[in-house]
C-alpha cells in the first residue's frame, strides 16, 4: 500500500462536507482508506490508528485541512487526492445566481423576520453566544451543538424560562414542532399525543412507533440530556410540560428521560400532578412501581411507552407490531456460529435499552457507554466478549459526522466484528428520517457482504428499523434490502433485542 497526502493550511470546510467527500472517494477502485478532515486531535488519532500518519502533519492546527489517501499504488493514491480536491472545489462554487447562505444569525433573521425559532449547530465554544442572542431577540432555540458547558446551559435555560422561550438542548438531536421535523426526526402524522424527551433516538423510536400504530403527535420537544440533572433542575422539561398542559390539542403526554436527580424528581412530580392530563412516563432504568405510586402510567421500554400512549389516545388496546410468538419462531429457525453478541448502534438510547434488556440474560456486557451493571470497554476500538457499542458517542464523532449521517466507521467496524471467530450474532439499528443517510440499509449490507467475502464467515445478523413509511428513505425498500441480504428485520429495538435474547438462551 502507498500513502499520498496533501495539506491545505488555514483552509476550512465543515465536517459533514469533508466526511461525505472522504467516504465517496474511499469507494473508488484501488483505494483502501481515506482521511479528509481538519487537523483535530480526533483526526490525528484516526490517521495513527490507520497507520497513515505522516511526519509532515507535525505542528498542524485544527485550522489546517489534511487530505490523506492509502491506495494500492501511488498513481491511484494521487488520483484519490485529485478527486478530493475536485469535489471540494465544486462545493465552493455557488450555482448560477443562487443567493448565498446568510453569514450570521442577524442576516438570517432579516431574510425571515417572521421566524420565531433558531436552530443552532456551530462549534460548542460559540454555541452559547448564538443561543443567548436568539433568546434576547425573542426566539425559541434548538441547540444541536454539543460541548456547551453545564454552566452555560444553566444560564441559557434560566433566561429561556424568564422569557417563556424553549431552549432545546444543548446536544438536542430531535424535535418536531408544529409538524416541522428538526434535525434528526421522522415523518409522523398529527394527533393528540405530546412528548417531552431528554433523548434523541428515544424520541424517534416512540414517535415512529406511535405513527405506525395509527396515532399521531402534537409536539415532540427535546430538552437535552442534562435537563433533569440537579444542576439544571428540569427547567425545560417543566416549561415544555406546562406548554403541553395548556395546549387544547394535546390529550396525552409522554415523558422520556434517564432517571432525574432526586432533588428534581420531587418538583417534577408535583408539577405533573397539576397537569390534568394523562401522562405516560419512561424513566430509562427506573423502577416502574415508583412511578405508578405517584399516580402516573409507567412504561417498561420505548415500545411500551408508544403503545400505552396510543391506548390512552384512542381508548382502545394496541398490540406490539411483532408478537413474542413471532419473535420466538424467528429465533428458533436461526443459528449462531459463535458464542458472543455484538451490538453496533447509531442511537445512544437504543444502545442503553439493549444493554438493560440483555444484561439479565447475558450476565456480562461491556460497552463504551455502559449502563449500571455493565463494564467499560478497555479499548473502544476493539470488542471482546459480549459487547454493545454506541457509535454516536463522542469517542467516535469528534471531528466527524454522526453515524446516522455517515456510516463509514460503522461499516468498518462491521467488517471487524464479522471477522471475529467468536461472534455469533450482530445486531444494529437503521434509523430513518430527515437528516439521516438516504440508504443506510444499502451501506450496511455492502459492508456485510464485504465482510462475509473477506472472512468467509456468516454470523447471524439482525436489524431494527426506526422510522415510518413516509420517511424519505422508503421504509419498505430499506426493509427489503436488509431481508434480501439474509438479515432478520424487526420494527422496534425491543423486538430485535428479544430475538437476540432467545438466540443467546438457545446457544447456552
Kindly state the cell numbers that stand for 476. 419498505
State the pLDDT at residue 443.
Answer: 93
Do 261 and 283 belong together in one domain? yes
- Boundary-marking domain end, from 269, 289, 314: 314
Are 371 and 247 in a shared domain? no
Question: Are 420 and 387 within 8 A, CB to CB?
Answer: no
Q: Domain for residue 98, yes or no? A: no
Rounded to an integer, the average pLDDT of 438-452 is 95
Is residue 285 predicted with pLDDT exceeding 90? no
Asked if 399 and 268 sit in the same domain, the reply is no
- Mean pLDDT for all residues in the chain: 93
Instruction: With respect to residue 99, please indicate whether it lies within any of the assigned structural domains.
Output: no
Distance, in Å, from the CA atom of 4 to the CA atom of 475, rounded to the nearest integer, reads: 40
How far is CA 93 from each of CA 11, 22, 86, 98, 287, rounded to the nearest angstrom?
Answer: 15, 19, 11, 10, 56
Question: Helix, strand or coil for residue 44?
Answer: helix
Q: Report how far apart, in Å, the C-alpha atoms of 160 and of each of 165, 239, 264, 399 are.
A: 5, 9, 18, 30
Position 234 scores a pLDDT of 96
pLDDT at 93: 55
pLDDT of residue 402: 85
Task: Tell whether the model's pLDDT for residue 484 goes beyond 70.
Answer: yes
H-run or E-run covering 141: strand 140-143
Query: Which pLDDT band holds residue 98 (cuts at 50, 70, 90)?
Result: low
Q: What is the pLDDT of residue 221?
A: 98
- How many domains, the chain? 3
Mean pLDDT, rounded, for 241-248: 96
CA 300 to chain centroid: 21
Q: Of 65, 92, 119, which residue sits at a domain end?
A: 92
CATH of the domain at 73: 3.30.70
Determine the pLDDT at residue 92.
62
Radius of gyration of the CA atoms of the chain, in A: 23
Question: What CATH number has the domain bearing residue 146?
Answer: 3.40.50.261
Q: Render pLDDT for 155-210 as a digit per residue (tens, 0 to 9).
A: 999 999 999 999 999 989 899 999 999 999 999 999 999 999 998 999 999 999 99
Q: Is the pLDDT of residue 378 over 70?
A: yes
Same-domain status, 334 and 455: yes
pLDDT grade, residue 386 (50/70/90)?
very high
Q: What angle is formed at CA 402 by the lines to CA 401 and CA 403, rounded to 5 degrees?
A: 115
> What are the CA-CA distances from residue 6 to residues 47, 66, 79 (Å)?
13, 6, 12
As a whole number, mean pLDDT of residues 494-501 equals: 98
Query: Based on the domain organization, do 353 and 394 belong to the same domain?
Result: yes
Residue 377 sits in the same domain as residue 469 = yes
Q: Compute the distance between CA of residue 403 and CA of residue 391 in angstroms, rounded to an integer.
A: 7
- Closest to 104 (Cα-Cα) out of 138, 139, 131, 130: 130
Residue 100 placed within a domain: no
Co-location of 121 and 237 in the same domain: yes
Beta strands in 24-125 (DSSP E): 31-38, 65-71, 117-120
Residue that terminates a domain, selected from 92, 116, 139? 92
| Residues 438-447: b if buried by 16+ CB within 10 A, e if exposed | ebbbbbbbbb
Which residues 6+ apart lie within 8 Å of 129 measured at CB?
none
Res 390 pLDDT > 60: yes
Neighbouring-strand partners of residue 67: 6, 36
**What gap in Å lies between CA 188 and CA 209, rounded to an integer?**
9
Banded model confidence at residue 353, pLDDT cuts 50, 70, 90:
very high
- The confidence score (pLDDT) of residue 399 equals 61
Segment 203-232, tens digit of pLDDT: 999 999 999 999 999 999 999 999 999 999
| Domain residue limits at 219 | 105-314
**Are both 256 and 343 inside the same structural domain?**
no
* Residue 170 included in any domain: yes
Q: In what order do the strands lie in the sheet with 340-345?
A: 375-376, 366-367, 387-390, 340-345, 423-431, 460-466, 488-490
| pLDDT at 96 (0 to 100) | 53
Domain contains 207 = yes
Q: How many CB atoms lie within 10 A of CB 484?
A: 10
One domain, residues 203 and 112: yes
Residue 182 within a domain: yes
Instruction: Give the mean pLDDT of 12-25.
Output: 79
- Within 10 A of 311 (CB to CB), how many other CB atoms are there? 18
Q: Closest by alpha carbon to 129, among 145, 114, 115, 117?
A: 145
Write the DSSP assignment of 367-428 as a string of letters.
ESSPPTTSEE-S-TTS--SSEEEETTSHHHHTTS--TTT--HHHHHHHHHHHH-TTEEEEEE
363 found inside a domain: yes
| Residue 23: per-residue pLDDT | 79
Whether residue 214 sits in one domain with residue 189: yes
pLDDT digits (tens, 9 = 90+) for 31-63: 988 989 888 877 888 788 788 999 999 999 888
Give the integer Cα–Cα distance in Å for 388 and 368: 8
Q: Are residues 158 and 15 in the same domain?
A: no
pTM for the whole thing? 0.85
- Is 335 found in the same domain as 310? no
> Which residue is it, cell 465536517?
15
Amino acid at each position: 500500500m502507498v500513502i499520498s497526502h496533501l495539506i491545505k493550511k488555514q483552509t476550512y470546510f465543515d465536517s459533514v462536507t469533508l466526511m461525505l467527500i472522504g467516504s465517496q472517494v474511499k469507494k473508488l477502485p484501488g483505494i483502501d482508506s481515506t482521511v479528509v478532515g481538519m487537523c483535530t486531535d480526533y483526526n490525528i488519532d484516526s490517521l495513527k490508528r490507520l497507520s497513515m500518519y505522516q511526519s509532515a502533519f507535525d505542528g498542524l492546527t485544527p485550522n489546517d485541512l489534511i487530505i490523506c489517501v492509502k491506495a494500492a499504488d501511488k498513481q491511484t493514491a494521487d488520483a484519490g487526492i485529485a478527486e478530493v480536491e475536485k469535489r471540494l472545489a465544486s462545493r465552493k462554487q455557488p450555482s448560477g445566481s443562487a443567493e448565498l447562505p446568510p453569514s450570521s444569525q442577524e442576516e438570517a433573521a432579516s431574510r425571515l423576520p417572521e421566524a420565531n425559532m433558531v436552530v443552532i449547530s456551530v462549534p460548542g465554544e460559540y454555541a452559547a453566544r448564538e443561543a443567548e442572542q436568539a433568546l434576547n431577540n425573542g426566539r425559541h432555540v434548538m441547540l444541536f451543538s454539543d460541548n456547551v458547558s453545564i454552566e452555560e446551559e444553566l444560564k441559557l435555560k434560566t433566561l429561556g424560562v424568564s422569557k417563556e422561550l424553549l431552549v432545546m438542548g444543548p446536544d438536542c438531536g430531535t424535535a418536531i414542532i408544529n409538524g416541522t421535523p428538526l434535525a434528526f426526526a421522522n415523518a409522523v402524522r398529527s394527533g393528540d399525543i405530546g412528548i417531552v424527551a431528554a433523548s434523541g433516538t428515544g424520541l424517534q423510536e416512540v414517535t415512529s412507533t406511535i405513527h405506525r400504530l395509527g396515532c399521531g403527535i402534537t409536539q415532540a420537544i427535546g430538552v437535552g440530556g442534562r435537563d433533569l440533572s440537579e444542576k439544571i433542575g428540569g427547567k425545560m422539561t417543566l416549561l415544555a410540560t406546562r406548554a403541553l398542559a395548556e395546549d387544547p390539542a394535546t390529550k396525552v403526554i409522554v415523558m422520556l428521560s434517564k432517571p432525574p436527580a432526586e432533588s428534581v424528581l420531587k418538583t417534577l412530580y408535583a408539577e405533573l400532578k397539576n397537569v390534568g392530563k394523562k401522562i405516560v412516563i419512561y424513566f430509562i432504568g427506573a423502577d416502574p412501581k415508583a412511578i405508578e405510586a405517584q399516580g402516573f402510567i409507567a412504561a417498561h421500554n420505548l415500545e411500551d411507552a408508544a403503545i400505552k400512549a396510543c391506548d390512552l389516545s384512542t381508548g382502545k388496546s394496541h398490540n406490539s407490531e411483532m408478537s413474542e410468538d413471532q419473535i420466538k419462531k424467528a429465533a428458533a429457525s436461526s443459528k449462531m456460529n459463535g458464542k458472543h453478541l455484538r451490538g453496533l448502534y447509531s442511537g445512544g438510547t437504543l444502545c442503553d435499552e439493549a444493554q438493560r434488556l440483555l444484561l439479565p440474560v447475558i450476565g456480562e456486557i461491556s460497552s463504551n457507554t455502559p449502563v449500571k451493571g455493565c463494564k467499560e470497554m478497555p479499548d473502544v476500538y476493539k470488542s471482546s466478549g459480549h459487547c454493545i457499542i454506541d457509535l454516536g458517542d463522542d469517542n467516535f464523532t469528534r471531528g466527524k459526522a454522526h453515524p446516522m449521517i455517515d456510516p463509514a466507521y460503522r461499516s468498518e467496524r462491521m467488517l471487524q466484528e464479522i471477522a471475529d471467530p467468536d461472534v455469533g450474532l450482530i445486531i444494529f439499528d437503521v434509523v430513518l428520517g430527515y437528516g439521516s443517510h438516504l440508504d443506510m440499509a444499502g451501506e450496511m449490507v455492502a459492508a456485510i457482504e464485504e465482510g462475509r467475502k473477506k472472512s468467509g464467515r456468516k454470523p447471524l445478523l439482525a436489524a431494527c428499523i426506526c422510522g415510518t413509511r413516509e420517511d424519505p428513505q422508503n421504509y419498505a425498500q430499506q426493509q427489503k434490502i436488509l431481508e434480501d441480504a439474509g438479515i432478520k428485520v424487526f420494527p422496534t429495538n425491543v423486538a430485535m433485542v428479544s430475538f437476540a435474547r432467545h438466540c443467546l438462551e438457545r446457544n447456552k
